[in-house]
Amino acid sequence: MTASARAVDLAVAAARAAADRKAEEIIALDVSEQLVLTDVFVIASGTNERQVAAIVDAVEEALHKLDAKPLRREGKGEGRWVLIDFGDVVVHVQHAEDRVYYALERLWKDCPVIELPADVVAGADAE
């Protein structure tokens, strides 16, 4: 079983919104084979707490336009690691230091990477 088309669409929208806020190292992982609760993890980094909050706000706004409402949000007050659960997609926005420490990509390394559009990858890499 692979991630649903809806989950991939939401993941791309979340990644694009994160890239618009200059998020770094944006990746989408198809976790549908490993987890029953969700299809895709989107992981992005911010360089400080303010940027993490801005990325989270942009992601929530973008997915709201696609009729996806967060079921749960954790960590926004601290601004270090914010988890937003949209059901089909779970978005992790982490402070760059926490991203290195927790290494979610390593934990989920057996899951396929969802290819993101070139503009998302280019936008995340642009300075």
Tens digits of residue pLDDT in 91-125: 999 999 999 999 999 999 999 999 999 888 766 65
CB of 88 closer than 8 Å to CB of 7: yes
**pLDDT at residue 126 is higher than 60:** no
pLDDT, residue 10, reads 98
Single out the residue of 53, 96, 68 nearest to residue 11, CA to CA.
68
Alpha helices in 74-127 (DSSP H): 96-102, 104-107, 118-125
Instruction: Say how many C-beta atoms besides its own lie within 10 A of residue 8's C-beta.
Output: 20
- Residue range 32-75, pLDDT digits in tens: 999 989 999 999 999 999 999 999 999 999 999 999 999 999 99
CB of 82 closer than 8 Å to CB of 52: yes
**What residue type is assigned to position 123 of the chain?**
G
pTM for the model: 0.92
Distances (CA, A) of 7 to 18, 96, 119: 16, 25, 19
The alpha carbon of residue 34 and the mean position of all alpha carbons in its chain are separated, in whole angstroms, by 17
Tokens of 86: 């949209």
Query: Which residues have CB under 8 Å from 71's CB, separation 6+?
Result: 85, 86, 87
- pLDDT band at residue 79, thresholds of 50, 70 and 90? confident
- pLDDT band at residue 88, thresholds of 50, 70 and 90? very high
